[in-house]
Every structure is written in structure tokens, then in C-alpha cells.
Amino acid sequence: MFSDVTSVALRVALGGLSARQRATADNVANIDTPSFLAGRVQFEDSLRDAVRSGDVRRIGAAGPTTARSLEPTREDGNNVNLDTETISNTDTVLRYQLLTQAVTDRMSLLRTSMRTQ
């Protein structure tokens, strides 16, 4: 809908956080699965670099990447740590709430500017 740098960056960041939430849920669901390696989602570095470039197309392409964790495993080959997943989930939820508030504020500002014109 909106193709300015900020709107695209917010959309990509929300998508990255959503992917991280899914990975965290998958990790927790497989906490007792032998040989399961936790998934880790990264997008912040590529998004930051894309935003610095100011290129909207590059920002839109800065989506999340998922890799398997290289953290040590338990005897069964699984490396999911419930404490790590809980912290990741809390952090992700807080970041998501912050970004959705930013989107809401931008839309409110847009509505207000449209009414005054």
C-alpha cells in the first residue's frame, strides 16, 4: 500500500518478527525431539543496511533468514533451551508491539492530515 522507506521497513521488520515467533514456537514444540536443532531467525542487520542505503527495493528484499543453531546439544542431539526460547519470545512480542504501535501512530497521523486538508 505505502512504498516509502519507513513503511516498507516497518512491514519487513514485522515480517521478520513474525518469522522469529514461528521459529520460537517450532523450537518449543520440538523440545523433546531427538537431534532437533533450534532455528534462529535473523533480519535486523540486513534491514539496517538496506535502510541506510535508502533504496526501497533493497529494503523490501531484506527479509528474514532462518538458520539452525550451533549451540551445544544435549545427549539426545537436541539443543533447544526453554529459557532461551522464553526470553526470545518475550523480546519478540515486545518488539512486535512497539512496531505495531508505530504503524498505528503513522496511520493516525495520516488520517489527521487528511481531515485537515
Report how far Cα 67 is from the mean position of its chain's Cα atoms.
Answer: 14
pLDDT at site 2: 76
> How many domains in the chain?
1
Tell me: pLDDT of 106 over 80.
yes
Q: Which domain holds residue 74?
A: 5-115
pLDDT at site 17: 98
pTM of the model: 0.89
State phi, psi for 39 to the nearest 5 degrees.
Answer: -90, 145
Contact 45, 94 (CB under 8 A): no
Confidence band, pLDDT 50/70/90 cuts, at residue 112: confident
Confidence band, pLDDT 50/70/90 cuts, at residue 110: confident
Tell me: pLDDT of 1 over 60.
no
User: Can you tell me which residue has the cell 516509502?
Assistant: 4
Q: Specify the DSSP element, H or E, that contains 49.
A: helix 44-53
Tell me: pLDDT of 100 over 80.
yes
Positive or negative: CA dihedral 105, 106, 111, 116: positive
Least Cα distance to 21 among 74, 78, 100, 105 occurs for: 100
